[in-house]
Amino acid sequence: MGCENIEFDQGWGEMEKGIEKLKRILAGEKETPFTSREYMTLYTTIYNMCNQKAPHDYSEQLYDKYKKTLDEYITSIVLPSLKDKHDEFMLRELVERWLNHKIMVKWLTRFFHYLDRYFIIQKSVPALNEVGTTCFLNLVYEDVHPTIQDIVLSLIDKEREGDQIDRALLKNALEIFVEMGLGQMNRYQDDFEARFLQETTNYYSRKASKWIEEDSCPDYLLKSEECLKKEVDRVSSYLHSSSETKLIKKVQHELLVVYVNQLLEKEDSGIKVLFRDDKVDDLSRTYRVYNKISQGLDLVANVFKQHVTIEGTAFVQQAEEATSNQASNTPGGHEQVLVKNILELHDNYMTYLNSCFQNHNLFQKALKEAFEVFCNKTVNGSPSAEILASFADHILRKGGSEKLSDEVIEETLEKVVKLLQYVIDKDVFAEFYRKKLARRLLFDRGTNDDHERSILSKLKQQFGAPLTSKMEGMVTDVVLAKEHQSSFQEYLRNNPDVHPGLDFTVTVLTTGFWPSYKWFDLSLPSEMVKCVKVFKGFYETKTKHRKLTWKFSLGTSHINGKFEPKPIELIVSTHQAAVLLLFNASERLSYSEIVAQLNLAHDDLIRLLHSLSCAKYKILNKEPSSKSISQSDSFKFNPNFTDKMRRIKVPLPPVDERKKVIEDVDKDRPYAIDAAIVRIMKSRKVITHQQLISETIEQLSRMFKPNIKAIKKRIEDLITRDYIERDRDNSHMFRYLA
């Protein structure tokens, strides 16, 4: 051979031999595989033809011939084979032809390999492999891909409806789409995936609209879970992995997002029924399924919130209706029931939160928001803060309505504190609680100190010291007062000549801790005047720097009534006692005479006289004996009064303090807002209006929720008082003035 140039036709003739052999192999005809020798000959032919000196360097022509060979093969063999086939058969044929084509390209590439090494780089033309794919793409794929897409989609549809299909075939077919992208996914996406996703959407939209009518909520969820599983399986079986996210999203949307409210609010099987029937599994499934959808849990949490809100509000309504159906003076039995119901509701849903909803913060938030709705409603004029305080009071009273064990009491008090977090007007609660605490400490002998301190420390922990500091002072006061009292007894023993002759105890309280009580300029009976004087004498030996203000309205007296049938001991308030003792000196007294002697205001006196002459126990006889007191009435001691007991308590109904409590709290709020603003300004020095507002609300949130107008008013006031000023250049900024 040596250095002789190979002529093109001659060389190509050699190649053609090899090519024909290859075609025969591909056609399945009897042929021996290529031997090493044959391969080397073909390779070398190309090599030589490319390394000859110009004009005998045939690289370009060979490159063209390579392409033409493929084109010609496709046109003459491949296309006709596809022409008459349909459906699955066409798919099968195409897959086979593509496989063959790839083999052909593989072998031809080997023969023509030398072109890949230099020519394609030199001329910046596509590599042989790429040319191979492009030929198929242009001549076959462009022609058939719409039909192929149709066939594939209809097979998928068949499978969705339950039929078995040839998954391997589909996998191979779809791989063609991918490979036709020459490294990009665009052919797969444009020629198949886009329509596939659309048809998937349509398919599941149809199914969903049918199932939502027919199926129960749990069944629907089960079906949805199944469908999603199947689709994931579909991807791993024959779709390209990149389709998974898009596909699942579409399916989730059609099945679970579009109909979420209808689904979860189903009358007979929706969320509320699942809760009612304690279907923990179904609830967990709901969470699980929606957790996989972006923002899916928001949807469920929303339905959850509405459900809880409706339940809570129903209890409130129940209490409202029950109370208004009864006489107005019934003690708040219905409110007690309401609080019990709400506590139970809370327990229940906290359990669900943990067992079904993984304590997810979206559900925590939903629960909180739901409770905030109905825990701030007024029931028959009583604000929720008062109701809660009454409930706590009821439990802490000696005995309560049922004999509860210490543990149960502790538990319940803990729950009350938890419930308080949902009440916005915590300062109103604190004030009602304080008033009731005062009554318990002063009148309810035998209150359990441990429980009292325990709930106060729980409140302090949750809501901070400002809420409870005064109350703690009150509890301590009572303990100290007992010590004082022992001291006083000792003093009396040591000074028998100053003993007033009456058995009496004094409870000294620190004014600042206790609720404010009206002061009455009551003229005491002389026996009591003596007592007061003696105590004053004693107290001055103890301390010179304190002033005593006597609140007789809080006192209790035991009076022996010498009634004709039998003597009875009367337990009355000191004010009532003052009225009764007047009758030791006079048999009959008119209203005006009583007023003159006692020096009380009409409202107060009427209440007292009513309790002694028109209520359950008629200690005094009234002329005329009408049901209410008028200023022209007269009163006489009733000697015939009797009762089966030897000792009775004559109640004096307390004045309705609700209005005053709310007034007092309202009066204090501006000061609290002022303090918060000044604190914030002091630490920040300069701040924007928005931030000031939001930080003020945040700081005060443990006590109440100030509205923006109230805060703005305080800002105005603080500006007038030169605590803060508005920035000259930035009208929305404020500066602290030291």
Contact positions vs another protein (CB under 8 A): 688-690, 708-709, 712-713, 715-716, 719-722, 725-726, 731-734
Query: Which DSSP symbol is given to 116?
Result: I
Q: How far is the CB of 693 from another protein (least distance, A)?
A: 8
Kindly report the number of other CB atoms within 10 A of residue 241's CB atom. Answer: 8
Contact in structure between 185 and 231 (CB atoms under 8 Å): no
Q: Using the structure block, give the residue that is written with the tokens 């039929």.
A: 163
Question: Of 646 and 667, which CB lies nearer to another protein in the complex structure?
Answer: 667
Write down the least CB distance from residue 727 to another protein, Å.
10
Strands 686-688, 568-573: pairing kind: unpaired
- Shorter beta-carbon distance to another protein: residue 418 or 726: 726
Beta carbon nearer to another protein, 409 or 715: 715
Answer yes or no: are the C-beta atoms of 704 and 670 closer than 8 Å.
no
> How far apart are CB 660 and another protein at their closest, in Å?
24
Please give the Cα distance from 80 to 104 (Å, whole number): 18
Distance, in Å, from the CA atom of 529 to the CA atom of 532, rounded to the nearest integer, reads: 5
Cβ closest to another protein, residue 418 vs residue 713: 713
Residue 423 CB partners (closer than 8 Å, separation 6+): 375, 376, 384, 385, 388, 429
- We find the least distance from the C-beta atom of residue 368 to another protein, in angstroms, to be 25
Shortest reach from residue 724's CB to another protein, in Å: 9
Contacts 24+ apart (CB under 8 A), 286-294: 286/217, 286/221, 286/356, 287/356, 287/357, 287/358, 287/360, 289/221, 289/224, 289/225, 289/228, 289/256, 290/256, 290/260, 292/228, 292/248, 292/252, 293/252, 293/253, 293/256, 293/257, 294/249
Q: Which of 236, 731 has the CB closer to another protein?
A: 731
State the Cα–Cα distance between residues 22 and 132, nearest whole angstrom: 15
CA Rg value for the chain:
47
Q: Identify which of residues 82 and 733 has a Cβ nearer to another protein in the complex.
A: 733
The structure tokens listed for 692 are: 């000031």
Rounded to whole angstroms, how far apart are CA atoms 579 and 421? 46
Contact by Cβ (8 Å): 385, 432: yes
Q: Quote the least distance from Cβ 719 to another protein, whole Å.
A: 4
Nearer to another protein, 295 or 690 (CB): 690
For another protein, the closer CB: 17 or 713: 713
Q: Which is nearer to another protein, 415 or 726 (CB)?
A: 726
Distance of closest approach, residue 678 Cβ to another protein, in angstroms: 16
Residues 557, 502: contact at Cβ < 8 Å?
no
User: Which contiguous run of DSSP H or E holds residue 247?
Assistant: helix 243-252
The nearest distance, CB 376 to another protein, in angstroms, is 23
CB of 682 to another protein, least distance (A): 19
Fill in the amino acid letter for 124: S
Residue with structure tokens 């790839």?
102
Q: Quote the least distance from Cβ 672 to another protein, whole Å.
A: 18
H helices of 647-688, in order, are 658-684
We find the least distance from the C-beta atom of residue 663 to another protein, in angstroms, to be 19
Give the nearest distance from C-beta 683 to another protein in angstroms.
20
Q: Which amino acid is at 226?
A: E
Nearer to another protein, 96 or 716 (CB): 716
503/722 with CB nearer another protein: 722
Q: Which residues have a Cβ under 8 Å from the Cβ of 206 and sit 6 or more positions away?
A: none
Contacts of 624 (CB under 8 A, 6+ apart): 633
Q: Which is nearer to another protein, 9 or 722 (CB)?
A: 722
- Cβ neighbours for 128, distance < 8 A, ≥ 6 positions apart: 66, 105, 108, 109, 112, 113, 115, 116, 120
Element containing residue 14 per DSSP (H, E): helix 8-26
Q: d(Cα 179, Cα 93) in Å, to the nearest integer?
A: 17
Q: Which of 426, 714 has the CB closer to another protein?
A: 714
Closest separation in Å from C-beta 688 to another protein: 8
| Residue closer to another protein, measured from CB, 99 or 737 | 737
Closest separation between CB of residue 734 and another protein, Å?
Answer: 8
Q: Which is nearer to another protein, 171 or 684 (CB)?
A: 684
How many angstroms separate the CA atoms of 313 and 652, rounded? 35
The answer to whether 136 and 98 are in contact (CB under 8 A) is yes
Q: In the bound complex, what is the minimum distance in angstroms from residue 715's beta carbon to another protein?
A: 8
